[in-house]
Structure 1
Amino acid sequence: MNLRQQIQKILSQEDLNFLLTNRLPRRWLTQFMGRFSKIEQPWVRDASIAIWKYFSALDLSEAKKQSFSSMHDCFTRELKDGARPVDHDPSVMASPVDAIVGANGPIRGTQVFQAKGFPYALEDLLGTEENLADWQDGYFVTLRLTSSMYHRFHAPYDCTVEKVRYFSGDTWNVNPIALQRVEKLFCKNERSFIRTQFTGAGPCQGQRVALVPVAAILVASIRLHFLDVLFHLKYSGPKTIDCEAHFSKGQEMGWFQHGSTVIILAPKGFALSQELHQGANIKMGQALMRWAD
């Protein structure tokens, strides 16, 4: 067993992993990493990316460019044209991100799950001001991005973004170990709520779907192309922003400054694609859910 494997084995121990990623000063570390990752000094940049590659499955072969100005530039990299084919079936909701499929299933009234035995309410996730009728008894999917994945997110269908709401919060780790220990974790972390409506032709026209990007430790910044703001821990602007931004299926909507989780809330009638299951890997543009009503 080489040094990397030995370190990874130590860090995989649940108690130690939870201690190192959640009992340290999370907000301070997150703010520090935000600044550190943007350092463009060549040896800092090169050493940071080399260490990142050594301890993860970072693959830059699909990146549009191979030279980066900083580690942050590498995190938010674009992909080569055509690297992510998009499923254009009008009854299909495509995955907005590269991710691992996490908890998913029917929404019981307004109750969803972050892990077995750990429920949370949509009211806690989206706030009491939001009308939840569109997603009551619907379907949800949790998509988790690891540090080495592509971190931009895209429109899962032809849609109009009607509203964005920003929630400042904590920066708990969102890995499976933390999700099994911290109740209502997603409702505690920094996040944004993006309400969309299907605009394309087909059986889904008019349906509303919510995308909820959730930040985490070292990952507390969210950029949306259609808003001239960067949501981050020190953001002090308006919390609710009405908008009318139009996207075609697969079009880029924004990115995490590093990467984290996207929760999809769909109305009744959608279900997870049959070929997927919890723990499966999915690429942006592949079929995530299908209209089954």
Structure 2
Amino acid sequence: MIQVYNRKTNKYDTENVAGEKYIKWAYESPLGKGFVELFIKRKFFSKLYGNYCDSKFSTKKINSFIKNFNIDTDILTNDPSDFKSFNDFFIRKLTPEARPINKDKNILISPGDGRLLAYTDIDIDSLIQVKGITYSLSELIEDNPIANEYVGGTCLVLRLCPTDYHRLHFIDNGVAEKSNIVKGNYYSVNPTALERIPKLYCQNKREWSIFHSENFDDVIIIEVGATCVGSIVQSYEPNKKVARGDEKSYFKFGGSTTILFFKPNTVNIDDDILIQSSFGFETKVNMGEKIGEKFN
């Protein structure tokens, strides 16, 4: 059972996990673990399922998914019957009113919908995956000089579930460099897997880029793929100015994670998020929502 902090009610909600039985079998049973290592973590498995989700045959999954996970169809830009495949639905766009963006330049907004953990004054050689399991920033991006610039900074980990809106947006005005691709596996990013696979983020396929933000200095933005994620698609044009709230990328089917790194003395994360993170609880946030402020 995964519990996530709800900022609106000041209570914990139990997450309705897509494929929960499969995840527990795959990462907790001896047989399942064997299948993960031999088959499920491999690119061809996720690509095969991704191809199915791109096909017209997958449309039959849409209505049951909407019903089982209580997807709000009133905020979609398309009617559910208009989608040509499950992936077409999965990367659905929302109306602007559904995700209002805080335009105050001193406010840090969430880049997407998901469950957020925040860490400050970070040790880049011992970043927290879960309690007792760590990884390093240099391993994650495979670039030591850049990693060293973020010693003592802030790390945000935004976990997207299959039920979430799966498009990511820029947190500020600025310019993003070209995305760097790091090949890897396709483990699940569900907490069940994170508790059992050492350095999972460093093992999975990922893409990262430097975002030259107008108000928060240079930010490392990392998209981590996961089981059944057909692909990570970059929507932006490298080295061209973007505005706060512009779309950056999207994930095709599957859970996934976005990790942001800020340099020291650039941001102050909201207290409720920091407190819950210290307790080991993720905080549910939506794209465009305030999660912090510019450091003064």
Identify the TM-score tier after normalising by the shorter chain: 0.7 to 0.9
Give the conservation status (yes or no) of the 8 Å contact 2:118–2:154.
Answer: no
Query: Residue 267 of structure 1: CA displacement?
Result: 1.1
Unaligned runs of at least 5 residues, structure 2 = 1-15
Q: Over residues 161-183 of structure 1, what are the superposed CA-to-partner deviations in whole Å (9 max), with x where a residue is unaligned?
A: 12421111100000001111111
Going from structure 1 to structure 2, the CA distance change for 1:129 and 1:34 (only over 3 Å counts) comes to same
C-alpha spacing 1:63/1:91, structure 2 compared with 1 (3 Å): same
CA displacement at 1:9 relative to structure 2: 7.5
Identity of paired residues, percent?
A: 23
* d(CA) in 1 for partners of 2:262, 2:164: 24
Instruction: Judge conservation of contact 2:52–2:58 (CA < 8 Å) in 1.
Output: no
Contact 2:184 / 2:205 at 8 angstroms: preserved in 1?
A: yes
* Equivalent residue, structure 2, for 1:50: 63
Deviation at 1:8, TM superposition (A): 7.3
In structure 2, the residue matched to 1:28 is: 44
- Residue identity opposite 1:214 in structure 2: V
Tell me the CA shift for residue 279 of structure 1: 1.8
Kindly report which structure 2 residues correspond to 1:160-171, keeping only aligned pairs within 5 A, or say none.
160-171=175-186
Partner SS state of residue 82, structure 1: helix
1:137-286 residue pairs with structure 2 within 5 A? 137-199=152-214, 204=215, 207-227=217-237, 243-258=238-253, 259-269=255-265, 270-276=267-273, 277=276, 278-286=281-289
Structure 1 residues not aligned, in runs of 5+: 228-242
Q: Is the contact made by 1:215 and 1:221 (CA closer than 8 Å) also made in structure 2?
A: yes
Deviation for aligned residue 1:46: 3.6
User: CA 1:56–1:18 in 2, change beyond 3 Å: closer, same or farther?
Assistant: farther
Distance 1:19 1:262 in 2: 26
Cα distance change on mapping 1:110 and 1:92 into 2, 3 Å: farther
1:60 aligns with 2:73: yes
**Residue identity matched to 2:174:** C
3-state secondary structure, aligned to 2:48? helix
Q: Distance in 1 between matches of 2:89 and 2:72?
A: 11
The answer to which structure has the higher helix fraction is 2
Question: 2:6 maps to which residue?
Answer: none
Partner amino acid, structure 2, of 1:279: E
Once residues 17 and 292 of structure 1 are traced to their aligned partners in structure 2, the CA distance between those partners, rounded to angstroms, is: 48
Q: Which moved more, 1:150-159 or 1:52-61?
A: 52-61
Partner of residue 134, structure 1: 149
Counterpart residue type for residue 177 of structure 2: E
Instruction: For 1:143, give the aligned amino acid.
Output: L
Normalised by the length of structure 1, the TM-score is 0.82
Mapped partners of 2:60, 2:30: distance in 1 = 24
- CA 1:108/1:262 → structure 2, altered by over 3 Å: closer, same or farther? same
CA shift digits 1:175-222 (9 cap, x unpaired): 0011111111001111101101112xxxx36x1111101000001411
Given that 2:40 and 2:227 are in contact with CA atoms closer than 8 Å, whether structure 1 keeps it comes out as no
- Give the Cα separation in 2 of the matches to 1:253 and 1:186: 20
Distance of aligned partners of 1:97 and 1:110 in 2 relative to their CA distance in 1, 3 Å threshold:
same
Aligned-partner SS, 2:28:
helix
Instruction: Report the TM-score when normalising by structure 2.
Output: 0.81
CA contact (8 A) 1:210 1:265 kept: yes
Instruction: Map Cα deviations across residues 102-145 of structure 1 (whole Å, 9 max, x no partner).
Output: 36343114431111111111110011365224311101010000
RMSD: 2.6
**Equivalence map 1:77-92=2 (5 Å):** 77-92=92-107
Counterpart residue number, 1:240? none
